[in-house]
Amino acid sequence: MENDLHIDQHISQRFNEELEDLRSKVLEMGGLVEQQVMDGTDALVNGDAELGAKVVERDTQVNAMEVAMDESCVEIIARRQPTASDLRLIVSIIKTITDLERIGDQAEKLGAFAVQLSDKGVSADKYSNLENISSKALAVLRKALDAFARMDHEAALEAAKMDEKVDQEYEAILRQVMTYMMEDPREIKKAMRVLWAARALERIGDHAKNISEYVVYLVKGKDIRHLDSLPEAKSL
């Protein structure tokens, strides 16, 4: 496989294990964060305060994982002085877990909204569009994590591209919510909450996009962030 980083081929077996361990932990964290986003969306859409509370509670787990992995990365840098692909792997992981943690924060926000909304005895079921944007954002996240797991820069580029859909969805929700607010000013408060939720999901999409960009850097050694047009990156 061309893009295989051969992280199991170091002369130092311990180094192999450390890197492999770190990589699987990133995927584990990714899985947890994905679950958080799904549950947060579900709680919000279904007005499930209990699930919302659970999401909020579980965010501490996400935070703990980030801290632990940060430490492992620092240790590896200090002790192994990684270079080339190893260095890129460590740097990507440090950045990836930061973004994953932010995604976790957004998911927590979703859960918190769900709790607040259900306190008021309302659900966001009217805004089924939230489910749409959520599934799109989740798709970006899944694709990015998948690309990371398989070191597949093409999949990563696709994921980055998919984020545009999330942004479009957000625009749509924004317009829809504005319409609601104009129709019924009493709904503004609730509408704002929904908007914030949508905003959170849009941010999740952005973070997922960042992760996919790190994957491209990891595999190809090229930084494609903040490039205006992706086609340039496609030349890879």
Partner 1 sequence: MSNNTDQQNTDLDQLVGETTGTPFLPDEKVKMSARNVDVFYADKQAIFDNSLDIGKNEVLAMIGPSGCGKSTFLRTLNRMNDTIPICRITGEIKLDDENIYGKDIDPVLLRARVGMVFQKPNPFPKSIYDNVAYGPRLHGLARNKADLDEIVVTSLKRAGLFDEVKDRLDASGTGLSGGQQQRLCIARTIAVSPEVILMDEPASALDPIATAIIEELIDELRQNFTIAIVTHSMQQAARVSQRTAYFHLGKLVEVGETNQIFTNPAHQLTENYITGRFG
Q: Does 1 sit near partner 1 (CB under 8 A)?
A: no
Q: Distance between CA atoms of 15 and 21, rounded to whole angstroms?
A: 10
Token pair in block for residue 132: 């749409």
Q: What are phi and psi of 184, to 5 degrees?
A: -140, 95
What residues numbered 47-86 form the site for partner 1, per CB under 8 A? 81-86
CB of 19 to partner 1, least distance (A): 10
Looking at beta carbons only, is 20 or 57 nearer to partner 1? 20
Among 14, 71, 221, 227, binds partner 1 (CB under 8 A): 221
CB of 221 to partner 1, least distance (A): 3
Token pair in block for residue 133: 């944007």
Looking at beta carbons only, is 19 or 103 nearer to partner 1? 19
Token pair in block for residue 69: 């992995």
Total length of the chain: 236
Q: Does 229 sit near partner 1 (CB under 8 A)?
A: no
CB contact at 8 A, 149 and 180: no
Looking at beta carbons only, is 2 or 228 nearer to partner 1? 2
Looking at beta carbons only, is 7 or 155 nearer to partner 1? 7
Binding to partner 1 by CB under 8 A, coded x per residue (else -) over 163-202, reads: ----------------------------------------
**First-last CA distance in the chain:** 16
Q: Distance between CA atoms of 91 and 73, rounded to whole angstroms?
A: 8
Q: Does 6 sit near partner 1 (CB under 8 A)?
A: yes
Token pair in block for residue 197: 């939720």
Which range touches partner 1 (CB under 8 A), out of 11-19, 143-151, 179-187, 189-197? 11-19
Q: Does 128 sit near partner 1 (CB under 8 A)?
A: no
Looking at beta carbons only, is 92 or 118 nearer to partner 1? 92
CA atoms within 13 A on the CB side of 64: 6
Looking at beta carbons only, is 85 or 210 nearer to partner 1? 85
Kindly state the greatest CA–CA separation across the chain: 68
What residues numbered 81-100 form the site for partner 1, per CB under 8 A? 81-88
CB of 18 to partner 1, least distance (A): 13
Q: Angle formed by the axes of helices 84-119 and 129-150, to 10°?
A: 160
- Of 209, 223, 60, nearest to 139 by C-alpha is 209
Residues that bind partner 1 (CB under 8 A): 6, 9-12, 15, 81-88, 220-222
